[in-house]
Structure 1
Amino acid sequence: MKKRLLKILAFLFFSILLLLGSFFVADYFYPLSITKNKTTQTILAQDGTPLWRFADENGIWRYPIKLDEVPNDYLDVLLNYEDRHFYDHFGINPVSLLRAAWQNITNKRIISGGSTISMQVARLLYPHDRSMAGKLQQIFRTLQLELHFTKDEILTLYINRAPFGGTIEGLGAASWSYFGKKPKALTRSEAVLLAVLPQAPSRLRPDRYPERAKQARDKVLARLAQYQVWSPDIIEQVRKEEVWVYPRKKPQLAPLLARRLSQQYPDVDIIRSNIDLSLQYSLEDIAANRKNQLPAKNSLAILVVDHTDMSVKGYVGSVDFNDKDRFGQVDMISSLRSPGSTLKPFMYALAIDDGMIHSESLLQDTPRISSDYRPTNFDEDFYGPISASDALKNSLNLPAVELIELYGPKRFAGKLFSIGLPLQSKGNDPNISYILGGASLRMDNLVSAYSAFARHGQVSPLRFTQAAPLLSKPFISDGSAWITRQMLVNNHQLAYKTGTSYGYRDAWAIGVNPRYLIGIWVGRPDGTPVVGQYGSLTAVPILQQVNTLLLNKERRINRPLPLVTKPTTVTLEKICWPSGQKLPATDENCHRQKNAWILNNMIPPTLDTLTALNNNIYRSGWVTIWVNDAGKRVSADCSNAHKKQVALWPIALENWLLPKERRQSLIPEVDNHCPVFGKDIFLPLNIIGLQDKQLVKRLPGQQDVTIDLTPQGGVGEKWWFLDGKLIEKTYGDQKVALTVTHKGLHHLFLLDQSGQILRMTFTLD
């Protein structure tokens, strides 16, 4: 008997060893893998609300959560209803299995599976049929789970994999889908309902079958009462609550940002953005309302950034994500577009830092021709003498061209590239057209660069996620940033710059208020021109609407706006035109006095164009002459000659000056008794052969008339325009034979290399 018992024990021992060995061999060759059911991806707003979700290939959405994000009420219900001994068994509860087998045999149908939570996780990871082989596979996978994972890890797998009806898996996705809240915020009634829902997710869906869901919930409450998990008062209170679910809606906010972040972080399950949920709703409403006001196939983009920490609070990449006619799935925030005039503030800021200008420096808005820039319209739409502030505020092209030509387009493009604003053009050869939109860039990079005007000259990349670090790179001085921002201030504490690209393809408005950077773009994503689409007319109204929304939000939450203080390096000084420097108001060389913001106590003199600087015949600024006692100009070696300093306006401005400010008034006539030697550098541009407003008659029988014209004065190359069209280019005093055919009024325009202009009209009879 004793030997037989020993044999039996030995048999059992070796059988157990064999089973264990077989298990570990099988575990080695058939390892457990949970990556097979990779979780889906969800983009969250700053407060944790899902903005957008990306389902798996089967359309399933999971929102993975950690165990500490699960409410205790839910865990109480789950463990007491599903598996009371979860933390005590090794994954399989023999008592439960035997009880389930007996129930199934006696009832001749499946009443209970006897599955533990661990076994349910095994079935979720490796589905099987309801056969003996399937059950053995489930048991094997369950033992693997218990071997390789802790109980809390297994429970977390169940919470994130359990089915909750339709395409929803996991407590996180169910909580947001059915109740519109994070799991930690679930009420007791909601926690009970979600604990029982995986038992029959299709049959108990609360959004479709609320009565069935309520009956299942109350059944669970009875079990909790039986085991005295909750007090009778609590159970009765929960029982009285109706089953109500949040109107089921997929998270569908900021789709283009969601796609962008998903592509940037493909292996991250939960991406926590900095989007302000309520603001995003408002911005998308603004876009929807503007949609019908835009021309066909037009789109728009809105970007809002809190520049105190560079977090992206609002992101609307297109007017309507679902509108194919408007290219709604093209993200215009990350697309290359022409910036129009939106780069001009950077040029002015760099020029201030370089000591080229101050805020009221005299610049020239006059027609000009060079190898890189050829104006096409010579009408009266020029301001002539203009301050840097007014030139920037009115977005005048020629003053900006004057600055970039002197600063250097390659140097300008290099500065922008260094702060993360690369400019792209054909051949990528920077030239002066860059300042007028002759290159392409992305809105996100442009808005980031504008942070220089809000962050004391430092530029910081945009922070799309909460994990992104706040970085900064020096670009311009604090003083230059402040002055340039003051030059752009309009109203409502908003400084902004507009832009319109060539052919009306892009309308821009980039704004800076005390807390936010705002980027607005309007146009057609395919680059088709839209006539009449200007930044000031199309984009600015949207900018102002968004700015008002943001300032109202700050007042509503009672959050004070950051203060914008003047740096100590900036002072206010009175300067005079045309010299651009400090002079007493009574000085005869102070023609117009201005209040200018000065950086580092440096007051730079008035700039001239690069052409004028290279050809010093027509000098501007301070010149020295000698006059006699009669006030006439004489040679320096004449008797009674004394030196006199005269501040001259740039020669190109002559046509826009008051008579008393022109060179003929400022420079005295020459005294013929002791004349100045050499060529008179103050001789104005003139035309011999035609007088202004002259009537020209044709000879009898002739259809046209030819007029011989000779330029007098001026310098270098000369360009002749008739009725707005270039007809001839000459040099020096070279003559022109002007042939006119059409009767009526004609406009003749002569421009020399120094910028001097002569206009006249004549009528052909």
Structure 2
Amino acid sequence: MAGIIQVNMMLAELVRGLPPTPALASMPVSATVTDREGQLLRPFTTADGRWRLPTARADVDPRFLDMLIAYEDRGFAEHDGIAWSSMLRAGLQFIGAGGRVVSGGSTLTMQVARLIEGEPTRNLWGKLRQMVHADRLEHELGKGDILDLYLTLAPYGGNIEGVRAASLAYFGKEPARLTTAEAALLVALPQSPEARRPDRDPAAARRSRDMVLDRLVAMGALGEEEADYARHEPVPTARREFPMLAAHMAEQAVRAQPGARQVALTLDRRLQEALERLAAARARLIDPKVSVAIVAADIESGDVLASVGSAGLFASESAGFVDMTRAVRSPGSTLKPLIYGLAFELGLAHPQSLIEDRPTAFGAYLPVNFDGFNRGTVTIHDALTESLNIPAVVVLDAVGPARLVSRLRRAHADPRLPAGAAPSLAMGLGGVGITLRELVSSYAAIANGGLPVQLHDGVGPQPEPGTSAPVLDPVSAWYVADILADVPPPLNGSPGRIAYKTGTSYGYRDAWAIGFDGRTVIGVWVGRPDGAPVPGLSGIVGAAPVLFEAFDRIGNRKAPLRRAPPGAILASNPDLPAPLRRFRHPNESMVARQAAPQIAYPGDGVDVDLGLASGEASPLMVKVRNGVPPFTFFANGAPFGRPEFARQSLWTPDGPGYVTLSVVDAKGQGDSVRVFVD
């Protein structure tokens, strides 16, 4: 009777303090961020710094499971957690060795019990406790759940736990497909993970792997020829980095859902990886302090397919930790397509309407073209494909900056103006703050026939279905897209494949290229995150080549641009209705081109070096803004030019000295300056 009581007390002591039986669904594991197909983008360590990725049988190569059970626990499917024959053998060895554990005799269930408790079992009491715990696990869990726990908790050296983390760390791949040699190594390592770590002792890792192969051959679980081939496969000698794709977005996703074990994003892992490599390579070619950001999205659904926040998360010189897809920057000329789209929608213009590109003042605001030259009379089509500044500002003045802001907001963009400032004409040339994601959203609307496209990536709430006010009408959106398809490509691109626009902000601080085909829209930003200028950086040189290379990487997503919708007028300028042949401002008096002419160059009182002293004098170019052509040009009262349409004329002096230059327009209004030429 006393013996029975003593045994019961011992059993009670063994059971007392056993941890509750865990469920894999609630066990602390590494948070993982995956793409739209469930492929791993980035895992995070647990709170105690361990790589413990949740792993189920379905995630692992079936051959590995067969090898694991054959080597570790052949009776796993039949026993109730304890293999008594193995335990008897281990007990006899324990007695024969004077109380020292020689072999464990542990089943996979007992190993799971030890891993859950986190206590060593190299003593009899620990082994008995492990047996009791294993018995409870068998009664409370199924065999599949026990095996899943082992696959998740098995130690593989250092802070690596579980077969999935080990496969990624040592082989750089998921464990769904393993070679025989890889599977054998993953079977061997948990028996002595620190001593057999391949990154510390490759020779020990090889010996342990080959020992598993030899035993499996002896058991008849593996053919000799296959084992011999596996023995010749090299073992890894270093740990690989865990995947860190979409690093910025993945971190935002985990912060947004702190308790989530897995967060699925809308990204495409293959495209994300390709564009990250592209961004890093292009940034290296430009400057170590330059970063590159890329956003790709599906036009119809708004799914973000790739989001590259920088040229490299750990690129310290270019502040790689800053997510430049969400940084507010000056958009340069990238808003011009929407400006012209509004003019088309309001019936003010057609792509083949003529417009003047000449010096024009809007009060104190005097826009100039990027290259400083004027083209005279051009079509709206050419004004946009050549990204001329003055026509864009004239059109913006006609449609109204407030309307531009309103349509940007319809496109799910949030244009930032200086504190207390109202929308102004400067917006047309970059005088507003906007993010790369917002620009991509705006261009997606143009590509989508004018309907707004709300980008979403899986981090925030899903956009609510419903109808929103259009950004442009279908015909106007198509007109814009058709023009952008004619923008000359960079040296690495072919024409007509995509519709796109570049932009360069003031001072060469931001280079942009945004483009789309019939299915995908991609935006590229290049610059320094600290806002410092990069001399010579421009949209066509810095960002456009990246954009075209990005489209080279979208694979089977390529699709032709949309066809013309009903109502589109496909005609040259002479065939247009009379009101559309020339762009006319609704209120011509608002535009300073009706003001008196002004000599824009040279300035009054300046010295102009024409090389007269060397005998190889260059003529002086006299330029005029405002006024009504044709203009008559004078030097000291003598006419020297009366071009029919041009706003400039050449004058060659007889020698050095002061000269009074004058101009008179068709209305008799004039201006003059006095300069010294030498």
TM-score, normalised by the number of residues in structure 1: 0.69
Distance in structure 2 (CA, Å) of the matches to 1:183 and 1:135:
31
**Contact 2:369 / 2:390 at 8 angstroms: preserved in 1?**
no
Q: How does 1:25-104 map to 2 (within 5 A)?
A: 38-44=28-34, 50-93=40-83, 96-104=86-94
Gaps of 5+ in 2: 488-494, 596-624, 639-656
Q: How does 1:298-337 map to 2 (within 5 A)?
A: 298-307=290-299, 310-337=302-329
Distance in structure 1 (CA, Å) of the matches to 2:370 and 2:76:
87
Give the corresponding residue for 1:744. 658
Distance in structure 1 (CA, Å) of the matches to 2:279 and 2:203:
41
Give the corresponding residue for 1:205. 197
1:198, distance to aligned residue in structure 2 (A): 0.9
Partner of 1:517, secondary structure, is strand
Distance in structure 2 (CA, Å) of the matches to 1:137 and 1:124:
13
Return closer, same or farther for 1:763/1:438 CA change in 2, 3 Å cut-off: closer
Q: Is 1:460 equivalent to 2:460 in the alignment?
A: no
Aligned length, in residue pairs: 614
**Contact 2:449 / 2:477 at 8 angstroms: preserved in 1?**
yes
Q: How does 1:458-497 map to 2 (within 5 A)?
A: 458-464=451-457, 474-489=470-485, 490=487, 491-497=495-501
Q: Is 1:249 equivalent to 2:240 in the alignment?
A: yes
1:237 to 221, 226, 233: 226
Q: How does 1:305-454 map to 2 (within 5 A)?
A: 305-307=297-299, 310-370=302-362, 373-375=365-367, 381-427=373-419, 429-454=422-447
**Contact 2:517 / 2:558 at 8 angstroms: preserved in 1?**
no
1:192, distance to aligned residue in structure 2 (A): 3.0
Amino acid at match of 2:577: K
1:506 to 507, 510, 515: 510
Return closer, same or farther for 1:303/1:325 CA change in 2, 3 Å cut-off: same
Partner of 1:300, secondary structure, is strand
**Contact 1:355 / 1:604 at 8 angstroms: preserved in 2?**
no
Q: How does 1:502-581 map to 2 (within 5 A)?
A: 502-547=506-551, 549-550=552-553, 554=555, 561-562=559-560, 564-576=562-574
Partner of 1:519, secondary structure, is strand
**Contact 1:104 / 1:110 at 8 angstroms: preserved in 2?**
yes
Amino acid at match of 2:90: A
Question: Taking every aligned residue pair, what percent have the same amino acid on both sides?
Answer: 34
Distance in structure 1 (CA, Å) of the matches to 2:57 and 2:17:
30
Larger Rg computed on CA atoms: 1
Distance in structure 2 (CA, Å) of the matches to 1:285 and 1:756:
62
1:93, distance to aligned residue in structure 2 (A): 4.8
1:612 to 585, 589, 609: 589
**Contact 1:37 / 1:125 at 8 angstroms: preserved in 2?**
no
Return closer, same or farther for 1:434/1:380 CA change in 2, 3 Å cut-off: closer
Distance in structure 1 (CA, Å) of the matches to 2:500 and 2:187:
54
Distance in structure 1 (CA, Å) of the matches to 2:361 and 2:404:
21
RMSD over aligned CA atoms reads 4.4
Partner of 1:504, secondary structure, is coil
**Contact 2:594 / 2:628 at 8 angstroms: preserved in 1?**
no
**Contact 2:350 / 2:380 at 8 angstroms: preserved in 1?**
yes
1:332, distance to aligned residue in structure 2 (A): 1.2
Distance in structure 2 (CA, Å) of the matches to 1:379 and 1:525:
26
1:686-706 CA-to-partner distances (Å, cap 9, x unmatched) read 9xxxx942379xxxxxxxxxx
Amino acid at match of 1:392: L
1:622-678 CA-to-partner distances (Å, cap 9, x unmatched) read xxxxxxxxxxxxxxxxxxxxxxxxxxxxxx976556x8xxxxxxxxxxxxxxxxxxx
Distance in structure 2 (CA, Å) of the matches to 1:763 and 1:72:
89
Distance in structure 1 (CA, Å) of the matches to 2:11 and 2:364:
84
Distance in structure 2 (CA, Å) of the matches to 1:320 and 1:151:
44
**Contact 1:695 / 1:762 at 8 angstroms: preserved in 2?**
no
Return closer, same or farther for 1:616/1:390 CA change in 2, 3 Å cut-off: closer
**Contact 2:360 / 2:593 at 8 angstroms: preserved in 1?**
no
Partner of 1:493, secondary structure, is coil
Distance in structure 2 (CA, Å) of the matches to 1:497 and 1:100:
75
Return closer, same or farther for 1:254/1:83 CA change in 2, 3 Å cut-off: same
More strand by share: 1
Give the corresponding residue for 2:636. 694
Distance in structure 1 (CA, Å) of the matches to 2:356 and 2:593:
17
Partner of 2:176, secondary structure, is helix
2:107 to 104, 107, 116: 116
**Contact 1:162 / 1:170 at 8 angstroms: preserved in 2?**
yes
Distance in structure 2 (CA, Å) of the matches to 1:36 and 1:46:
24
Amino acid at match of 1:69: D
1:153-206 CA-to-partner distances (Å, cap 9, x unmatched) read 222111011112333221112223333333221234432331232111223334
1:257, distance to aligned residue in structure 2 (A): 4.1
2:184 to 192, 197, 203: 192
Return closer, same or farther for 1:257/1:26 CA change in 2, 3 Å cut-off: closer
Return closer, same or farther for 1:746/1:81 CA change in 2, 3 Å cut-off: farther
Return closer, same or farther for 1:439/1:526 CA change in 2, 3 Å cut-off: same
Distance in structure 2 (CA, Å) of the matches to 1:751 and 1:475:
41
Return closer, same or farther for 1:380/1:759 CA change in 2, 3 Å cut-off: farther
Amino acid at match of 2:113: A
Return closer, same or farther for 1:615/1:114 CA change in 2, 3 Å cut-off: closer
Distance in structure 2 (CA, Å) of the matches to 1:541 and 1:560:
18
Give the corresponding residue for 2:614. none
Gaps of 5+ in 1: 1-6, 584-601, 619-651, 660-685, 697-742
Partner of 1:81, secondary structure, is helix
**Contact 2:352 / 2:572 at 8 angstroms: preserved in 1?**
no
1:462, distance to aligned residue in structure 2 (A): 3.7
Give the corresponding residue for 1:154. 146
Return closer, same or farther for 1:36/1:574 CA change in 2, 3 Å cut-off: closer
1:472-517 CA-to-partner distances (Å, cap 9, x unmatched) read 8543233222210111123141221111222322111112234432
**Contact 1:364 / 1:653 at 8 angstroms: preserved in 2?**
no
Return closer, same or farther for 1:379/1:238 CA change in 2, 3 Å cut-off: closer
Distance in structure 2 (CA, Å) of the matches to 1:239 and 1:290:
45
Amino acid at match of 1:80: A
**Contact 1:694 / 1:763 at 8 angstroms: preserved in 2?**
no
1:430, distance to aligned residue in structure 2 (A): 2.8
TM-score, normalised by the number of residues in structure 2: 0.77
1:701-737 CA-to-partner distances (Å, cap 9, x unmatched) read xxxxxxxxxxxxxxxxxxxxxxxxxxxxxxxxxxxxx
**Contact 2:359 / 2:368 at 8 angstroms: preserved in 1?**
no
Return closer, same or farther for 1:408/1:47 CA change in 2, 3 Å cut-off: same
Distance in structure 2 (CA, Å) of the matches to 1:118 and 1:111:
20
Return closer, same or farther for 1:478/1:32 CA change in 2, 3 Å cut-off: same
Partner of 2:563, secondary structure, is coil
1:452-489 CA-to-partner distances (Å, cap 9, x unmatched) read 23323233334546999797854323322221011112
1:296, distance to aligned residue in structure 2 (A): 5.7
Return closer, same or farther for 1:749/1:497 CA change in 2, 3 Å cut-off: farther
1:298, distance to aligned residue in structure 2 (A): 2.5
Distance in structure 2 (CA, Å) of the matches to 1:756 and 1:98:
117
**Contact 1:32 / 1:144 at 8 angstroms: preserved in 2?**
no
Distance in structure 2 (CA, Å) of the matches to 1:203 and 1:272:
37
